Amino acid sequence: MTPQQAEYWSRFQAETGIGAAPRGAEAFGDDPVMQDELCALVLAGTKRATCSLARWFENDPDGFPKPGDYWIFLDGKSEPRGIIRTTEVEVKPIREADAQFAWDEGEGDRSFDYWITEHRKFWQREAARNGFDYSDDLHAVFERFELVWPKEKPAPA
């Protein structure tokens, strides 16, 4: 965690009284423009879920995310923008994704067709960068969360 992220977490703890440690600090997406767009969706209350390939957690000493985990989410400049708390986690093959999960992710038109098309593109980019083959049979971590801080939505820019 960067000093800026640690200071952000300390302010969160001071204002909320929550003593837990953060699971991590992450941005949604793989480029700064996407990260800013997805960050804005979380802050607006539209995005309440995320889906990552399970392979990224297989060697994590903390294992898969679990309900109750707190995360600092970042914008496209890697600056902290809020705290989310995991509420539900399911690990299953990508091919088992459903329309409700696509809606909860809050991206695009929120349809399943949009969700699967864009996520396949994203995961194919990950596969190309990291030297593995993409398949809808890969396991993914389907994670739902709630925004816990800031409680107030930011004023429109």
Distance of CA 42 to the CA centre of its chain: 9
List domains and CATH numbers for the chain. Answer: 3-149 (3.10.400.10)
Flag whether pLDDT at 155 surpasses 80. Answer: no
Rounded to two decimals, what is the model's pTM? 0.91
Q: Report the distance separating Cα 78 and Cα 75, nearest Å.
A: 5
pLDDT in tens, 19-30: 999 999 999 999
- In whole angstroms, give the CA distance from residue 87 to residue 124: 27
State the average pLDDT over residues 117-137.
96
The 3-state DSSP class for residue 69 equals coil
* Cβ pair 141, 49 in contact under 8 A: no
pLDDT band at 152 (very low <50, low <70, confident <90, very high): low
d(CA 125, CA 42): 23
For residue 121, the model assigns a pLDDT of: 96
- Looking at every residue in the chain, the average pLDDT score rounds to 94
Peptide bond before residue 65 is cis, with ω within 30 degrees of 0: no
Q: Give the integer Cα–Cα distance in Å for 140 and 127.
A: 13
Per residue in 9-19, pLDDT (tens digit) is 999 999 999 99
